[in-house]
Chain A
Amino acid sequence: MGEYFAILFGAIFIYNFVLTRFLGICPFLGVTKRVETSVGMSAAVVFVMVMASIITWLIQIYILEEFGLQYLRTIAFILVIASLVQFVEMAIQKLSPALYEGLGVFLPLITTNCAVLGMAILNIQEQYNILQSIVHAIGAAIGFAIAMVVLAGIRERLELATLSRYYKGASVALIAAGILSVAFQGFAGMM
């Protein structure tokens, strides 16, 4: 139990995917102009990450390792994630148009979100079992969501600030993210 908690807590705070591991920066800057959209994106990521962690783990153990094809890992994982995203998009569209309204636009963006592929590869590198992989995926996604929503909140305020125009937009968002990252470094001593 303690071990699972350590993985979860570590993935959310200490090795926060966005602020410490630098994964998923594109959506982090692209979608965090409004709190609302960043919540939508985060929800889609949580969904895809958990599904992807299960499927990639099964592929790694039962196909790639079984047949000694580890060198096809990158190709296999990215194709699986791309198809998974497509499939989830179609399924949601059919089953719940309301949910599709909220998540739909974000789903295609997730294929090139390196947080998902990064999470899948980390699961293999850390030699997690399937339960640990799922817990790690949940922690990673929650950490991603926290970083997204917090930065979106900061950026909504920054819109109103008087700034040199050269710093407007991505520049000041990155500096704010840097200060946020300093705050997250404070968690490092806790484990």
Chain B
Amino acid sequence: MGDIIRLSVVLALICMVAAGSLAYIEGITTPVIQQREAEILAERLGQYVPDADSFEPVDVDGKEFFKALKGGQEIAYIMPDSRGPGYGGDVRVNVAVDTDGNVIAAEVAGHTETPGLGDVIEDPDWLAQFEGKGVNDPIAIGTDIDNISGATVSCRAVATAVRNAVEEIGAAFLGIAMAEWDLDAVEDGTYTGTGTGFGGDIVVEVTVSGNQITDITIVEHSESPGFWENAEDAIPDAIIDAQHYDVDDVSGATMSSIGIKDAVFDAIAR
């Protein structure tokens, strides 16, 4: 019995000394580590907002943002890793937005697009087009952002990610309501919306009556004949059936399908 007590005491003493010395070292190293991490963050984010003198992480509804501060004033907001669906998976874009809700910098943080084709989206000159765009701009490929041929899907993913970041930051910090699909709030009437298909803009007119979509007319498009018809036949009917824009794409006409759906969303939500 005495033996067991002696064993426990020795073991407990050793553990206590160990824990005590670790707590002491932790007290020395933690401030150094935190300061270094803050410096790295400031250096990384400083590229987007050179005027800022400090950055502060903020958590809004479980999403991570950064506030850029100058002399205690908020001058810009940064959303890291805003996502858009690309060809090989999600494309992640860091987006900085000023207090007016306009983009001041966009940088591709990571992607798994095809090397040699999709990776052109990393080009800073191309990304510079997003600067100055805000919530009221379409931020869509072919409309106000140039496409890079051969990388349409990747470019679209970046545009989606940037638009998403602009809306998220607007909603989180600037009091700008996000575009939402809410049929109950839509008054009767006919609304026009634009989406981007394979060949360019697709413009639709959506008629709403009694909070129901009753008709969808394609006003304008420049899609390839032979593929387009499949989407044109199926998608509007499917949306009217479902009373929702998110319906299955028509295979062989995926781009056109997405274009029509985006256009309908645009008409109802904005």
Contact between A and B in the complex (any CB pair below 8 Å): yes
Segment with Cβ contacts to A, from B17-25, B73-81, B100-108, B189-197: B17-25
Whether A71 contacts B26 by the Cβ 8 Å rule is yes
Q: Give the docked Cα–Cα distance between A75 and B18 (Å).
A: 9
CA distance A71 to B26 in the complex (A): 7
Question: Once the chains bind, are B23 and A71 in contact (CB under 8 Å)?
Answer: yes
A71 to B19, CA, bound (A): 9
Any chain B CB within 8 A of the CB of A95? no
Q: Is A72 an interface residue (CB 8 A)?
A: yes
| Tally of chain B residues near chain A (CB < 8 A) | 6
With both beta carbons as reference points, the residue of chain B lying nearest to A68 in the complex is identified as B26
- Shortest CB–CB separation between residue B167 and chain A, in angstroms? 26
CA distance A71 to B29 in the complex (A): 11
- Once the chains are docked, how many angstroms separate the CA of A72 from the CA of B15? 11
A71: chain B residues at CB < 8 Å are 22-23, 25-26
Q: Which residue of A lies closest to B30 (CB)?
A: A71
In the docked arrangement, what's the CA distance between A21 and B124, Å?
Answer: 36
- Chain A residues whose CB sits within 8 angstroms of the CB of B22 once the complex forms: 71-72, 75
In the complex, what's the smallest C-beta–C-beta distance from B173 to chain A, in angstroms? Answer: 26
How far, in angstroms, from A71 to B30 measured CA to CA in the complex? 10
Residues of B contacting A72 in the complex (Cβ-Cβ under 8 angstroms): 19, 22
Chain B residue nearest to A74 in the complex (CB): B22
Q: Determine the chain A residues whose CB is within 8 A of the CB of B26 once the complex forms.
A: 71
Tell me the bound Cα distance from A71 to B24 in angstroms: 11
Complex Cα distance, B113 from A185, in Å, reads 21
* Distance to closest chain B CB from A185 (angstroms): 18
A28 CB to nearest chain B CB (Å)? 31
Contact with B along A45-74 (1 / 0, CB 8 A): 000000000000000000000000001100
CB distance from A52 to the nearest CB of B (A): 20
CB-defined contacts of B18 to chain A, threshold 8 Å:
75
Minimum CB distance partner of B23 in chain A: A71
Bound-complex Cα distance A133 to B23 (A): 28
Quick one: which of A98-153 are within 8 Å of B by CB? none
A23 to chain B, nearest CB (A): 24
User: How far does the Cβ of A191 sit from chain B's closest Cβ, in whole Å?
Assistant: 10
Give B120 Cβ to nearest chain A Cβ, in Å: 22
Least distance between B65 CB and chain A CB atoms (Å): 19
Q: How far is the CB of A81 from the nearest CB of chain B, in Å?
A: 16
Chain A residues lying within 8 Å of B25, measured Cβ to Cβ, are: 71
What is the distance, in angstroms, from B35's C-beta to the closest C-beta of chain A? 17
A93 to B26, CA, bound (A): 41
| Cβ distance B19 to chain A, nearest Cβ, rounded Å | 6
> Chain A residues with Cβ under 8 A from B23's Cβ?
71
Whole-angstrom CA separation of A71 from B22 in the bound complex: 7
Shortest Cβ distance from B171 into chain A, in angstroms?
26
Give chain B interface residues in 23-39, CB to chain A under 8 Å: 23, 25-26
Shortest C-beta distance, B218 to chain A (Å), equals: 36
Q: How far is the CB of B232 from chain A (nearest CB, A)?
A: 33
Q: In whole angstroms, what is the CA distance A72 to B26 when docked?
A: 10
A86 to B263, CA, bound (A): 65
Which residues of the partner chain B approach A75 to less than 8 Å between Cβ atoms? 18-19, 22
Closest chain A CB from B86 CB (angstroms): 16
State the Cβ distance, B37 to closest chain A Cβ, in Å: 15
Chain A, 75-96, contact with B by CB distance < 8 Å: what is the 0/1 string? 1000000000000000000000
Closest to B29 in A: A71
Cα A72 to Cα B20 with chains together (Å): 10
Q: Could you give, for residues 177-221 of chain B, a 1 whenever the CB lies within 8 Å of some chain A CB and a 0 otherwise?
A: 000000000000000000000000000000000000000000000
Interchain CA distance A72-B16 in the complex, whole Å: 12
Known: A71-B22, A71-B23, A72-B22; 6 extra A-B contacts, CB below 8 A, are A71-B25, A71-B26, A72-B19, A75-B18, A75-B19, A75-B22
| A-B contact list, 9 entries, CB within 8 Å | A71-B22, A71-B23, A71-B25, A71-B26, A72-B19, A72-B22, A75-B18, A75-B19, A75-B22
By a beta-carbon cutoff of 8 Å, the part of chain A in contact with chain B is 71-72, 75
Q: Which 7 pairs show the lowest CB-CB distances between chains A and B? A: A71-B26, A71-B22, A72-B19, A72-B22, A75-B18, A75-B22, A71-B23
